[in-house]
Amino acid sequence: MIDLEFIKQLKTLDLLAKKKIMSSYAGGQRSIRQGRGIEPIDHREYFPGDDLRFVDWKVYGRTEKLFVKRFEEEKSLTTHILLDSSNSMNFGSGKYSKFDYASMLGIGFAYLVTQENEKFALATYNTQLRDVLQPKRGRGHFFKAVDMLNNQKLGGTTNLDIVGERYGNIIKSRSLCIVISDFLEKPEEIRKGLFRLAKRSKNLLVIQVMDPVEKKLEWQGDIKLHDLETNEIKKMFFTPSMRKDYAVKFIAHLEKVRNACDSVGADFFTTTTDDPVFDIFFKITHLTTRGHMK
């Protein structure tokens, strides 16, 4: 649940991360993303101090005059925020469920975009798109997003492949796409979905939200497990060796998700619901400053 208290705290975020995060995707600073999905749209006359890398030497060859390329990122950037609202996101062992935490993250990004007077879109999904707020700017749009998330009913399983295809059609121009999920689905579906999103948005930020309990199952003995995603029930005797096996599989799955992100050029972050929400923004800020996003 996103409450007023959290919204007040967003001001802190404003101070910490605003320009740093957004500008890294806006291209105002030197970025490793140069040449990757960033297209020059016109030229302007060269002024001393401009980066010589952006001089269009072909034009100079023709005209013997220096012109620099002007890139799309110098124009406005729409931010698309996708939140996983499947049943698995309803899991929480602490103060927040995964969806609550993801919602706070999503609203945080929405806040930053709104402060820049840029547009943002917000959508929830499971095996398909559920609620979608079309790209708009302004405070009214922001609070609509808050309401939407607060009233969101979780359910179903997840299929990012289908969602990616469908939402990709919504993305009209180069934009920043942020996907927040627990990514508890088949790695191949994740990869395909991210690929579709990355192809349309050119900038993709992936944040995985986990609960600390599901990272390390500290159970033992006779248990009856309820799968939140599929409602399947399984009775078993959970042993230390099974715990180890689970941890290995879990980490292996994380790696696959990470590899899927790398393969599509997306930035990948993972967090747990017991981490302070703003820390993730700090992480993103920290890594973008170093020019390395992982």
Partner 1 sequence: MTDFTNPGGLLFLAVLIPVIILYLLRPKPKDMRIPSLMFIIGMEQRRRFRSFFKRILRDPLLVLQLLALSLIVLALAGPFSLSTETHKVTEDAVIILDMSASMQAGSPTRFEQAKGAALSVLADLDESDKVSVILAENIPIIALKRGSAEDAKSLIGGSYPKATTSGIGGAILLGADLIKESNIEKMIYVVSDFSNYEGSDPLAAQKTAFAQGIGVKLIRVGSPEENVAIIASRSGRSQEGCFMEIVAKNYGSAEKTVTAELFIDSQWGDSESKALPPGSAGVFSLSVKCSGVEHEAMTSLSVSDAMTVDNRAYAIIPKTLETDVLLIREEDSGNYIKYALESLEGVYVDEIDPPVYPEDYSSYDLVVFQNAEGRNILAGTFRALEKFVETGGDLVIFGFEGLLEVPASELGTTIPVVPIEVSNFGGSPSKLFDHQLLTDVDIESVRAEKYLYVDAKLGSVILSDIAGNSVLSIAEFGAGQIVYIGLYPQSNWSDFQLKPSFPIFWSNMVGWLSEGRSMGDSRNFKTGDQMPVGLNQTNRVKKPSGEVIEGANIIMDDAGFYLIEKNGFTAAASLLDEKESNVSSSNLGESSISDGYKSERFDEEVKHEWFWGLAIAGLIVVIVEWFYYKRRGSL
Q: By C-beta, is 6 or 246 nearer to partner 1?
A: 246
Q: Is 205 helix (H, G, I), strand (E, B) or coil?
A: strand
Q: By C-beta, is 184 or 293 nearer to partner 1?
A: 184
Q: By C-beta, is 41 or 247 nearer to partner 1?
A: 247
Residue 197 interacts with partner 1 (CB under 8 A): yes or no: no
CA distance 250 to 243: 10
For residue 159, the cross-strand partners are: none
Query: How many angstroms from the chain centroid is the CA of residue 244?
Result: 30
**Residue window 234-263: x/- pattern of binding to partner 1, with contact defined by CB under 8 A:** xxxx-xxxx--xx--xx--x----------
Contact residue for partner 1 among 39, 227, 262, 279 (CB under 8 A): 227
Q: By C-beta, is 41 or 225 nearer to partner 1?
A: 225
| Contact set for partner 1, span 76-115 (CB under 8 A) | 87-89, 91, 98
Q: By C-beta, is 86 or 114 nearer to partner 1?
A: 86
Provide the edge-to-edge strand list for the sheet that holds 202-210. 129-136, 120-125, 78-84, 175-181, 202-210, 267-272
3-state SS of 94-127 is CCCCHHHHHHHHHHHHHHHHHHCCCCEEEEEECC
Q: By C-beta, is 153 or 172 nearer to partner 1?
A: 153
Shortest distance (Å) from residue 70 CB to partner 1: 47
Residue 207 interacts with partner 1 (CB under 8 A): yes or no: no
Those residues whose C-beta lies under 8 Å from the C-beta of residue 265, and which sit 6 or more positions away, are 36, 198, 204
Shortest distance (Å) from residue 234 CB to partner 1: 6
- Residue 175's H or E segment, with its range, is strand 175-181
Q: Which range touches partner 1 (CB under 8 A), out of 111-119, 218-226, 275-283, 286-294? A: 218-226
Q: By C-beta, is 70 or 215 nearer to partner 1?
A: 215
Contact residue for partner 1 among 73, 116, 161, 182 (CB under 8 A): 182
Residue 63 interacts with partner 1 (CB under 8 A): yes or no: no
Angle at 84 between CA 87 and CA 24, to 5 degrees: 155
Angle at 7 between CA 147 and CA 135, to 5 degrees: 50
Tell me the residue type at 262: D
In the complex, the residues that contact partner 1 under the rule CB under 8 A are 87-89, 91, 98, 182, 184-185, 211, 214, 217, 219-230, 232, 234-237, 239-242, 245-246, 249-250, 253
